[in-house]
Every structure is written in C-alpha cells, then in structure tokens.
Amino acid sequence: MRMDEARPEAVRKRRGRNMRTARENIAAVCDPGTFQEYGGLVVAPQRKRRTMDDLIRNTPADGLVVGVGSVNGELFGPQKSRAVVLAYDGTVLAGTQGHEGHRKDSRILQLAAKLRLPVVFFAEGGGGRPGDTEYRGELDSFHRLPALSGEVPLVGIAAGYCFAGNAAFLGSCDVIIATETSNIGMGGPAMIEGGGLGVYAPEEIGPAPMHYRTGVVDILVKDEAEAAESAKRYLAYFQGDIAPQPPKDQRLLRGLVPEDRRRAYDVRPVIETLADEGSVTELRAGYGHGLITALIRLDGRAVGVLANNPMHLAGAVDGDGSDKGARFLALCDNFGLPVLFLCDTPGILVGPEAEKTALVRRSSRFLVASAKLRVPAFTVILRKFYGIGMLAMMMGALKAPIFNVSWPTGEFGSMGLEGAVRLAYRKEMEAIEEPAERKRFYDEHVEQMYQAGKALRRARAYEFDDVIDPADTRQWIIHGLNSSAAMQSSNVSRRPHLSPW
C-alpha cells in the first residue's frame, strides 16, 4: 500500500497540481534500483482514532519516505555516490511531521552522520502534526539535521507548501532549491491565524520568487523535474573530479572587459569562458547582485568562484554582497573546494544610506571569511582593484592567495581614484574659482593616479605576481590547482557548523 500504484486517487490529485509524488522525486534523484527504503511499513500513530486498515491505506510510511541511494553513480562509482534521501509525502496528511516520521528521520540522519553521507531532503509539508495519539520517547530530529551542518553536504528542495518545521529543516541545509510555485514560511495559515496575525491563503505566504530575492532560495527552478536535476548537479561538485570538458576559445577573454574603464559589463561570460563547457552553477543569483557566486569545473575539478559584478554599483561591495560572499567562502572552505576570486571593484560601498545596512559588520564578516580560508585561493584582477573591497577578494593581503595576477586592464589604488583626488587635492581645488579650470585640474590628477596605478607599473614593483594575457588565465588556474593538490587533499571540515545564512 505504500507504493504509488496502490493509491491512484492520491496520485490523481497530485497530478491535478502538476506535481510529482515523493517516490517519483526520489526516483528522479537516485540512480535506478539503488534506493533502499527504511521504515516503509510504518503508519501514522493515530490508532486511538482510526482503524489500522484506514491508516495502512491513507498514511503509508507516516508521510515520510527515507532511505539510502546512489546519486550520480555513473560519474563517481558505487561508493562515492551513496547519499541519504528524505522526502515528505504531500499526499499523506499534507506532508505534516508525524511522530513515527520523526523517528525515521532521526534514524536515517544518524546513518548520514555515521557513514558521512550527503543528504538530499525534499521538505514539502505543513510542519508539526497535532492529530497523532501515540508517542514513544523523546524526538531529536531538530538536533540531528542541524548537527550535520558542515559535516556533510545538505541539499534542501522545496516544492508545494513548506511551512513551520518543514521550513526549519529546509533552512538548515547548505543550499535551497525551490520551484517557482512553492511557498516557504516559518508558519502556515493556521499558525498565523491562531496567533492573531491575520488570515492568509498558503499561496500568500513566502512565495519562492520573493525568497529568491531575499537570498533564502539559492536556486530557483521551474518544476520538480528541474529541481531533481539541479540537486544532482549541485551534489556532484562535492563528490569528486570528473572527465574534463573542453572550454570555450580562451582568446575570447581578451575582449570581455571594455577598454573604457568607466563602462559596465557582465562578468558572467568571463566565468563561463574560463570554466569547462556547461559546468557553471550560480548560487543566490537573485540576491546580493554586486557579487557573483558560482560553482564551476576547471579541467574536471570543482572550484568556487567569487566575481565582482560591475553591472551593480560598479562592482562595489555592499551589505548583501558581503553576506553572500562570506557564506559562499565558508561553503567552499568547509568542503575543500578551491576558490577563484575575479576582482573588479572600486571598494566597499560608502555613504550614510550604506551605513544604515550594518555595513561595518557585514563587510568585515566577508573580509574575515576570506582571510580564514584554508583551501587554495587564487586572485585574478580583471580591472579595478581598490580599497577594502579588493582585500576581501584576495584573503586580506596581496600575497595571501596562491597567486595574484592581473590582466593588462588592471588598475590599483588604496581607494577609488575620484575620491582620492578630491581628498588629496581638496585645498588646491577649492582655491580654483573657475569651474572649467577646476574640472581640468581634477581630470588631470585622476588620469595621473590612474597611470600610476596601472597593472604593468604595479607589477614592476612586485605588488602582483604577474600581468598575464587573459587567454592564459585558465592555464594559470589549472597549474595552481596542480601545485596545491597536497593542500587540497589535507583539507577536512574545520568549522563547528556552516552558517545557514
């Protein structure tokens, strides 16, 4: 009775919402024939109010399917591909969390910790279930999953409604993948109304596109099929190396940064050109637009990329970008992924409005996360390289990364050129009465500082390791990865946990 075939009416209703069943989602993630279910015969603990036949027919597995299966076995083999998979069943009591279900997730998460297996969690459901009538012992589910943070990769998937306890599980994961039509909230309609906070339809609470903009959702997808593929793709970065895929023509990199230093450009083509073909997965693309964070492969090896985005605030580092960057660095550091910084920033965003966002603490968090990296890190300066913002993109010091190289378009300064001229020559400019003459004086000194800070001149003073042809960047990184192989292999989880934010 636990199989979908035995529950045609429940499956039909699911189809009416254009959604898959829990078992179909598990089948989409796991390699065929590899999933071993645990606790599949249990039913909801409601024997005092319902017959056993009713419970068997309508509450299979207590609404939670758990087990161990292989994910990406064709790439990584039968041992490296094993993973724990859990899926709340939205057709069973709205995917709510029952007592027996909690005992099951506790058991399977204990195995994940013991065997150091990654976890894939389909978290749809309405939170705790008030209708159970039998309880046996203390439950530790909300200890087991958060305790795995930083120990093994945790992948959370939201489809349909994900409220209360289910949302707490989801939020404990390293990455959240959500369908466009899902809703995520720490309380569902009943809880909100019960607290006197209004009456809302579930669709009004935490729509996934909104959470994509708040940074809660890392990857927004069309449907559950795409969610399953995204989960497999994400997990693969943490499972090992794969056969290299040929990159794009590296000579294309020479034309991606505009000659006009004031002109904005999209840095994503730089990342896509450097990476193995088709290997880029961007995280939190809807949030913290000043920084691009992405997982890529270079010569078949997984690498984390942080790139300033000149299309947003000219690449300045703001509070949201700082949070996004710090969290991404912690993710890479925790699981041994080398980090590539692609730098083009005028520095930290400044001004009264910026300070209202707690920027001092948030930008410093980014700087600390960068300085504390234990994995190999490499910096490539694409253009602007200024102020504290640049320090966060190079572990806090020029020689801290394995290498720090610049493209010929690179320019360096302790602060933005325009601000530096206004600060250094304030008295001289105030003494010039004629506006046109004052502007000429200003423009001349900006140009002088620009020439003094150009990459070639700074490299002669050995502030960078080299100025390179952009077309050689990929080979620099691959050689760096080869040189730091011993450093990578010695990396183990060092953090007490991986911050959910």
- For the chain, the structural domain boundaries read 4-236, 252-410+454-489
Q: How many residues does the chain have?
A: 501
The reported pLDDT for the residue numbered 492 is 53
Q: From residue 328, how far is each of 47, 160, 305, 333, 470 by CA, in Å?
A: 47, 27, 9, 9, 25
pLDDT number for residue 494? 56
Give the pLDDT of residue 421: 72
DSSP state of 454: B
pLDDT of residue 246: 93
Instruction: Kindly report the backbone phi and psi dihedral angles of residue 412, in degrees, each rounded to the nearest multiple of 5, phi listed first.
Output: -125, 145
The tokens describing 255, both together, are 């034309």
Q: Whole-angstrom Cα distance, residue 500 to residue 369?
A: 15
User: CB of 71 within 8 A of CB of 26?
Assistant: no
pLDDT at position 424, please? 74
3-state secondary structure of 152: coil
At the topology level of CATH, where does 4-236 sit?
Answer: 2-enoyl-CoA Hydratase; Chain A, domain 1 (3.90.226)
pLDDT for the residue 1: 60
Residue 213 and residue 268: Cα distance in Å, rounded? 19
Q: State the CB neighbour count (10 A cutoff) for residue 204.
A: 13
Instruction: Provide the residue-wise pLDDT of the chain in tens; the chain has 501 residues.
Output: 678 887 888 889 899 899 999 999 999 999 999 999 999 999 998 999 999 998 988 899 999 999 999 999 999 999 999 999 999 999 999 899 999 999 999 999 999 999 999 999 999 998 989 888 888 777 899 999 999 999 999 999 999 999 999 999 999 999 999 999 999 999 999 999 999 999 999 999 999 999 999 999 999 999 999 999 999 999 999 999 999 999 999 999 999 999 898 899 999 999 999 999 999 999 999 999 999 999 999 999 999 999 999 999 999 999 999 999 999 999 999 999 999 999 999 999 999 999 999 999 999 999 999 999 999 999 999 999 998 999 999 999 989 999 999 999 999 887 677 776 777 778 888 888 888 888 888 888 777 777 777 888 888 888 889 999 999 999 999 999 999 988 876 555 556 678 888
- Answer whether 4-236 and 252-410+454-489 agree in fold: yes
CATH code: domain 252-410+454-489 is 3.90.226.10
d(CA 235, CA 213): 23
- Identity of the amino acid at 78: P
Is pTM, for the whole model, over 0.95? no
CA max distance for the chain: 93
CA–centroid distance for 7 within its chain:
37
81-120: burial string, b at 16+ Cβ within 10 Å, e else: bbbbbbbbbbbbbbbbbbbbbbbbbbebbeebbeeebbbb
Whole-angstrom distance between the N-terminal and C-terminal Cα of the chain? 40
SS3 of residue 269 by DSSP? helix
pLDDT at site 495? 62
Q: What is the pLDDT of residue 429?
A: 83
Distance CA 95, CA 171 (A): 17
